[in-house]
């Protein structure tokens, strides 16, 4: 039915080697093979964004990437970003602003927001609310109505820009 | 000690009621450390997948599972006949909805499939992927039957009857009438009318429906991990229908990835999983995929409403006359039933206004489509759209400003308690104060000036208003009196532990609203400890008092009051012990920030942890007869009013592109009165989330069916949900009219946003289109429908 493939890759800084079914997508690989349940499946057809993770520094939809294609890749998930402290300020802003309700979209929303914030830092600019809304427009959140999420990202963007100048 | 909660106490230590504090349980969400049902893995766990009917209506002729079972790793397959002997069928009716009828439903149907997407065969395998492989190999021979799809003709003699035993496709009908409607319309100065449609749509919880059922044959216990809003109700249903003692069923509800009413119902596929787990004696997990969600989660709001409104020459509303028709799919959904939405429509129309003559009829019919049932704000968005649409038409007919017309007709703020022409009892509302607060927030004259200036540039902007009422804190009048085993009461247990920390176990549940936060706030204030000392337990029928869970905006009002009373009782009990230890009268002592203090002067006498140490480890040093009850449980149920109504008003400011038909949302406002606000930040976020959910139904979301009953959407690419780029910023304001039924004074806040948003959007679009002579009344207001209304494309293409 389906063939298996050997892959060795880095996940959150740890080297992992596994034999995976060719059809296994990255989210199932993370959740079922590695027990990293912070990444969620919402639609499994690339629309809702709940499975967003970082592969080789770029955010991707984990449900549209096959684990078998990731030999040699570097994968980062919410667990890894939490551990490294890279998005600690963003996570705190989400907590303080109540930018998460049920939390199912939250890890992916944070990865998408972090992506915008690093691009903004490179450009030395604070993104407008419209630009924030545009950037997270591929991450579905049913609970918040997005306003609080935009507030939290805007707060961090402004704070980081302030730090950069001082 | 049992005073009404006074928010002026905010300047005191450990005063949390009324304060915007972050949710203690949110950190796990932002770190990816939450635990949803799919994150739970048990030894020997199997995975279920379902073969679903491709036909809207078909006889099941033959089922062959042999090819499926030949796949290694596939363990078993079950048909309706396999499961039927092990599960009592259910019939979803309520006795107080007179004449209501529905057919018996089973985990899997025996002979006939009645909607496209209905589960027909279950396959269990070692992995979900294998179970799906196997499901694809199950052969089901169907004999297609004519499908009932158009609710307008569902009762025609020529239309097939879906369940022969019922005699026809009528589920329920009711006319709610008072005054003399005919006379009011005969003598009216003006009569306005319109036909409204609300589009069938669904909840799209990001976490799909999820269940993991585990039956232990040795103990006879069924443990079910379930993404649900009502653990005790699900436990009751599982016990009765699987013929188990209620005490042998435990429902555990961990983190829930969105619910909005979708997860408060009994789903046949989830019942099948529980039955299979019991039959196999091992854990079985089922997580719906997105297509299964679209075709088997409940849908809602498939209504056509004809409405008329009569006004006199002075601009006073005389009468509403309403005819509502709704199609609910082939079965009423258990145990809340699918007649409640229509029933709410005929109870809520005209709700904010002072008038005398009322007639509203609802007709609830069967169809071969996905079953519909209660979804966030049940009936309110429909009733509000009809009411506020007619109100705007009346204002226009009279040449009056829509806000002025509302002011003239809203129930006066000092006029409560009173009963509406629809029979709704209002304890105290603030329509006028809310409207005035909104008028200030939006800077109405500036918006109107901007509208005129934009119009001159060929840009069509509109502002729309929607006053609304919302039913919260339901008593047994909602379900219990109809025979449904749904608790309107809820409870809370508060326990002081030896180190002075406090546990609070509540029957209400958390789905992201902030239930655990507000319970912690209330208990911390009631006991007198810092909020950081309180831990809240929810969602486990083994660990929490019996209660209804979280739905119909009852968490804060009912669960919160139980928590307040349990917290106060625990404090009183602690002070009895403290009084004995300190040789002081208990009423001269208090607990503040975790310390026993003198009530007068506030001098610290000892930490609560010292009291805990003595009670639990050195009880020998206390007088033998001294009660040392540091754990107290209290329950609360409302008794004076069937519901605690809230009220508010929303405004939408938007732009319609008359070349593309696209609606661009510029800003949205809501002023809400949910009584005592426990955590303003959380209430604001409930309102904002609710508004956007309402906007979804108004502009984008639609479960589209072909004329022969096939669901034409099945992915999030063709069922559009609100995304961040299209949504506006939303400003929220508050008026506080606490309910006097409780010391806390809180009413519900979770559905107000959804109740009013579609009406505000519709009125804003029609305000923008008014000079062009176009109007829309059929949700969702898609570009095609707007272009058709403008005469730019033929109506049939919309």
Write the pLDDT tens digit of every residue in A128-143.
999 999 999 999 999 9
Residue B592's pLDDT band, with cuts at 50, 70 and 90, is very high
Q: State the pLDDT at residue A46.
A: 97
- The pLDDT tens digits of the residues spanning B72-126 come to 999 999 999 999 999 999 999 999 999 999 999 999 999 999 999 999 999 999 9
Quick one: what percent of chain B has pLDDT higher than 90? 97
Q: State the pLDDT at residue B550.
A: 93
Q: Check CB contact under 8 Å for B33 and A38.
A: yes
CB neighbour burial string for B355-381, b if at least 16 within 10 angstroms, e if fewer: bebbbbbbbbbbbbbbbbbbbbbbbbb
- Would the pLDDT of B12 be above 90? no
Quick one: what percent of chain B has pLDDT higher than 70? 99
A86 min Cα distance to partner chain B (Å): 12
Q: State the pLDDT at residue A166.
A: 47
Q: State the pLDDT at residue B421.
A: 97
CATH number of B299-476+640-797: 3.30.365.10
Mean of the pLDDT values across residues A10-27? 98
Residue A164's pLDDT band, with cuts at 50, 70 and 90, is low
CATH number of A87-165: 1.10.150.120
What string of DSSP letters covers B175-204?
Answer: EEEES-HHHHHHT-SEEEEEEEEE--EE--
Quickly count helices (H) and strands (E) in chain A: 6, 5
Q: Check CB contact under 8 Å for B723 and A48.
A: no
Q: Where are the domains of chain A?
A: 4-82, 87-165
Q: Give strand pairing partners of B196.
A: B305
- The pLDDT tens digits of the residues spanning B244-287 come to 999 999 999 999 999 999 999 999 999 999 999 999 999 999 99
CATH architecture of the domain covering B37-145+204-296? Alpha-Beta Complex (3.90)
- Would the pLDDT of A1 be above 60? no
Q: Check CB contact under 8 Å for B30 and A100.
A: yes
B91 contact partners, CB below 8 Å, separation of at least 6:
B102, B103, B104, B105, B332, B334
What is the C-alpha R_g of chain A? 16
Q: State the pLDDT at residue B589.
A: 98
Residue A48's pLDDT band, with cuts at 50, 70 and 90, is very high
A vs B: CB pairs below 8 A? 175
Q: Check CB contact under 8 Å for B30 and A102.
A: no
d(CA B615, CA B620): 9
Residue B552's pLDDT band, with cuts at 50, 70 and 90, is confident
Q: Check CB contact under 8 Å for B260 and A142.
A: yes
* DSSP strand pairing (B170-178 vs B357-365): antiparallel
The three-class DSSP label of residue B448 is: helix
Q: Where are the domains of chain B?
A: 7-34+489-636, 37-145+204-296, 299-476+640-797
Q: Do B7-34+489-636 and B299-476+640-797 come out as alike in CATH topology?
A: yes
Chain B CB contacts of A104 under 8 Å are 34, 36, 205-207, 257-258
- Burial (CB count <10 Å: 0-12, 13-18, 19+), residue B11: exposed
Q: State the pLDDT at residue A60.
A: 98
Residue B4's pLDDT band, with cuts at 50, 70 and 90, is confident
Which of A145, A146, A150, A152 is the best mutation test for B, with the most CBs of B within 10 A?
A: A145
Chain B CB contacts of A144 under 8 Å are 685, 688-689, 692
Phi, psi of B130 (to 5 degrees): -65, -40
CATH topology of domain A4-82: Ubiquitin-like (UB roll) (3.10.20)
B159 min Cα distance to partner chain A (Å): 37
Q: State the pLDDT at residue B2.
A: 55
Greatest CA span in chain B, whole angstroms? 88
Q: Check CB contact under 8 Å for A43 and B31.
A: no
Q: Check CB contact under 8 Å for B514 and A101.
A: yes
d(CA B637, CA A135): 46
d(CA A36, CA A80): 10
DSSP state of B315: S
Contact criterion met (CB below 8 Å) for B224 and B541: no
Q: Check CB contact under 8 Å for B717 and A50.
A: no
Q: State the pLDDT at residue B10.
A: 63
d(CA B291, CA B223): 27
Chain B CB contacts of A148 under 8 Å are 685, 688
The chain B residue lying nearest A140, using CA atoms, is B723
Mean of the pLDDT values across residues B755-769? 98
CA torsion B692-B698-B701-B703 (nearest 10°) is: 140
- Would the pLDDT of B430 be above 60? yes
Whole-number average pLDDT of chain B? 97
The chain B residue lying nearest A83, using CA atoms, is B31
Chain A CB contacts of B664 under 8 Å are none
Helices within B337-467 (DSSP H only): 340-348, 380-398, 402-409, 431-442, 444-456
B207 min Cα distance to partner chain A (Å): 6
Q: Give strand pairing partners of A7.
A: A18
Residue B8's pLDDT band, with cuts at 50, 70 and 90, is low
Helices within chain A (DSSP H only): 26-28, 78-84, 88-97, 106-123, 129-135, 147-165
Residue B1's pLDDT band, with cuts at 50, 70 and 90, is very low
Mean of the pLDDT values across residues B3-18? 76
Q: State the pLDDT at residue B283.
A: 98
B322 min Cα distance to partner chain A (Å): 32
- The pLDDT tens digits of the residues spanning B569-585 come to 999 999 999 999 999 99
CATH topology of domain B7-34+489-636: Aldehyde Oxidoreductase; domain 4 (3.30.365)
DSSP state of B675: B
Chain B CB contacts of A53 under 8 Å are none
B228 min Cα distance to partner chain A (Å): 12
- The pLDDT tens digits of the residues spanning B382-422 come to 999 999 999 999 999 999 999 999 999 999 999 999 999 99
Contact criterion met (CB below 8 Å) for B582 and B597: no
Q: State the pLDDT at residue A162.
A: 87
Chain A CB contacts of B292 under 8 Å are none
The chain B residue lying nearest A103, using CA atoms, is B29
């Amino acid at each position: 039915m389906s063939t298996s493939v050997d892959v060795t890759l880095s996940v959150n800084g740890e080297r992992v080697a596994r034999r995976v079914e060719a059809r296994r997508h990255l989210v199932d690989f993370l959740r079922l093979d590695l027990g990293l349940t912070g990444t969620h499946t919402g639609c499994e057809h690339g629309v809702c964004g709940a499975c967003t993770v970082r592969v080789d520094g770029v955010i991707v939809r984990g449900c549209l990437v096959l684990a078998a294609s990731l030999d040699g890749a570097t994968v980062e998930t919410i667990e890894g970003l939490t551990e490294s402290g890279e998005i600690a300020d963003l996570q705190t802003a989400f907590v303080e602003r109540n930018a998460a309700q049920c939390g199912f979209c939250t890890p992916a929303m944070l990865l998408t927001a972090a992506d915008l914030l690093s691009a903004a830092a490179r450009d030395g600019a604070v993104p407008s609310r419209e630009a924030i809304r545009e950037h997270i427009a591929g991450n579905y959140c049913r609970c918040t109505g997005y306003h609080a999420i935009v507030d939290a990202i805007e707060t961090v963007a402004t704070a980081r820009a302030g730090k950069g100048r001082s | 000690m049992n005073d009404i909660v006074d928010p002026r106490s905010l300047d005191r230590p450990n005063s949390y009621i009324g304060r915007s504090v972050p949710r203690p349980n949110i950190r796990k969400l932002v770190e990816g450390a939450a635990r949803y049902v799919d994150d739970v893995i048990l030894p020997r766990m199997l995975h279920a997948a379902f073969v679903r009917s491709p036909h809207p209506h078909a006889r099941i002729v033959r089922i062959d599972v042999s090819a499926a079972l030949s796949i290694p790793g596939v363990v078993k397959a079950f048909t309706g006949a396999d499961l039927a002997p092990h599960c009592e069928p259910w019939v979803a009716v309520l006795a107080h909805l007179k004449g209501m009828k529905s057919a018996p439903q089973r985990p899997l149907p025996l002979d006939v499939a009645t909607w496209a997407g209905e589960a027909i065969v279950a396959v269990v395998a070692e992995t979900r992927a294998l179970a799906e492989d196997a499901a694809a190999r199950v052969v089901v021979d169907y004999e297609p039957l004519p499908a009932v799809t158009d609710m307008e003709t569902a009762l025609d003699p020529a239309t097939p009857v879906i369940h022969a035993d019922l005699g026809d496709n009528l589920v329920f009908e009711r006319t709610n009438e008072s005054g003399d409607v005919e006379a009011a319309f005969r003598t009216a100065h003006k009569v306005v009318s319109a036909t409204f449609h609300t589009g069938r749509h669904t909840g799209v919880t990001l976490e799909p429906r999820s269940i993991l059922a585990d039956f232990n044959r040795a103990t006879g216990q069924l443990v079910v991990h379930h993404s649900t809003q009502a653990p005790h109700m699900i436990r009751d249903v599982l016990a009765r229908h699987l013929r188990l003692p209620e005490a042998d069923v435990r429902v555990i509800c961990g983190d829930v990835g969105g619910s909005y009413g979708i997860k408060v119902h009994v789903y046949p596929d989830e019942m099948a999983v529980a039955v299979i787990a019991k039959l196999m004696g091992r854990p079985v997990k089922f997580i719906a995929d997105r297509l299964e969600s679209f075709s088997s989660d409940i849908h809602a709001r498939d209504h056509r409403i004809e409405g008329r409104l009569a006004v006199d020459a002075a601009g006073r509303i005389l009468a509403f006359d309403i005819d509502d028709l709704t199609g609910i799919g082939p079965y009423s959904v258990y145990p809340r039933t699918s007649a409640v939405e229509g029933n709410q429509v005929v109870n809520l129309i005209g709700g904010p206004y002072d008038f005398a003559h009322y007639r509203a009829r609802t007709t609830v019919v069967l169809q071969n489509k996905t079953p519909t049932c209660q979804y966030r704000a049940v009936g309110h968005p429909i009733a509000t759209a009809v009411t506020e649409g007619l109100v705007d038409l009346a204002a226009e007919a009279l040449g009056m400003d829509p806000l002025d017309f509302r002011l003239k007709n809203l129930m006066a703020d000092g006029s409560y308690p009173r009963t509406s022409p629809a029979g709704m009892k209002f304890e105290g509302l603030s329509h006028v104060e809310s409207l005035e607060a909104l008028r200030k927030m939006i800077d109405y004259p500036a918006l109107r000036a901007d509208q005129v200036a934009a119009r001159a540039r060929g840009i069509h902007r509109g502002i729309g208003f929607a006053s609304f009422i919302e039913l919260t804190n339901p008593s047994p009048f909602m379900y219990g009196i109809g025979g449904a085993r749904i608790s309107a009461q809820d409870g809370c247990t508060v326990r002081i532990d030896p180190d002075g920390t406090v546990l609070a176990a509540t029957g209400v549940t958390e789905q992201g609203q902030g239930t655990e936060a507000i319970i912690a706030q209330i208990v911390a204030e009631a006991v007198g400890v810092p909020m950081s000392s309180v831990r809240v337990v929810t969602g486990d029928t083994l660990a929490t008092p019996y209660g209804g869970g979280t739905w119909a905006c009852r968490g804060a009002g009912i669960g919160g009051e139980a928590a307040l009373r349990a917290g106060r009782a625990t404090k009183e009990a602690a002070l009895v012990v403290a009084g004995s230890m300190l040789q002081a009268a208990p009423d001269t002592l208090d607990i503040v920030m975790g310390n026993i203090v003198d009530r007068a002067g506030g001098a610290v006498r000892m930490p609560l942890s010292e009291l805990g140490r003595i009670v639990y480890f050195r009880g020998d040093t206390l007088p033998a007869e001294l009660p040392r009850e540091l754990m107290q449980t209290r329950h609360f149920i409302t008794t004076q009013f069937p519901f605690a109504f809230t009220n508010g008003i929303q405004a939408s400011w938007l732009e319609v592109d008359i070349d593309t038909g696209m609606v661009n949302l510029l800003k949205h406002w809501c002023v809400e009165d949910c009584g005592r606000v426990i955590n303003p930040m959380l209430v604001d976020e409930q309102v904002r989330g609710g508004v956007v959910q309402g906007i979804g139904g108004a502009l984008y979301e639609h479960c589209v069916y072909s004329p022969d009953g096939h669901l034409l959407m099945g992915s999030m690419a063709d069922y559009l949900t609100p995304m961040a780029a299209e949504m506006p910023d939303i400003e929220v304001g508050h008026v506080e009219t606490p309910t006097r039924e409780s010391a806390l004074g809180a009413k519900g806040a979770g559905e107000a946003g959804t109740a009013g948003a579609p009406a505000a959007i519709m009125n804003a679009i029609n305000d923008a289109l008014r000079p062009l002579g176009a109007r829309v009344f059929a949700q969702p207001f898609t570009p095609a429908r707007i272009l058709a209304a403008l005469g730019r494309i033929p109506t049939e293409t919309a």
